Amino acid sequence: MICFQIPEFVKSKDGHVFHREEVLLISLYILSYLNNTNDAAFIELFGHVYIRVSKIVKTFLDYIVDNWSYILLHNGTFWKPYLQVNN
């Protein structure tokens, strides 16, 4: 969590508050297993229904984009060797 500099408690845009470990672990799980959309599975795994899990993931992605998108968007010298350029 320190490498992402996620605060101890993360507040979603609609006012829900989540602990940083909860946000990171749930988001990584959902990004790994996108097809698991069963409410019973979410309640068993995370203790939340799908709509709440969805808010957690959106909050995580918003945080990453707001705080770390400059690494992807404004770092051409880093990405240049990995991109195929046709001259």
Residue 3 lies in a domain: no
Residue 68 lies in a domain: yes
Residue 2 lies in a domain: no
Q: Which residues span the domain enclosing 24? A: 9-82
42-64, pLDDT tens digit by residue?
788 888 888 888 888 999 998 88
Only one residue has tokens 């990584």, namely 28
20-47, pLDDT tens digit by residue?
898 998 888 888 877 766 777 778 888 8
Residue 13 lies in a domain: yes
- Which pair of structure tokens corresponds to residue 19? 């602990």
Grouping H, G, I as helix, E, B as strand and the rest as coil, residue 66 is helix
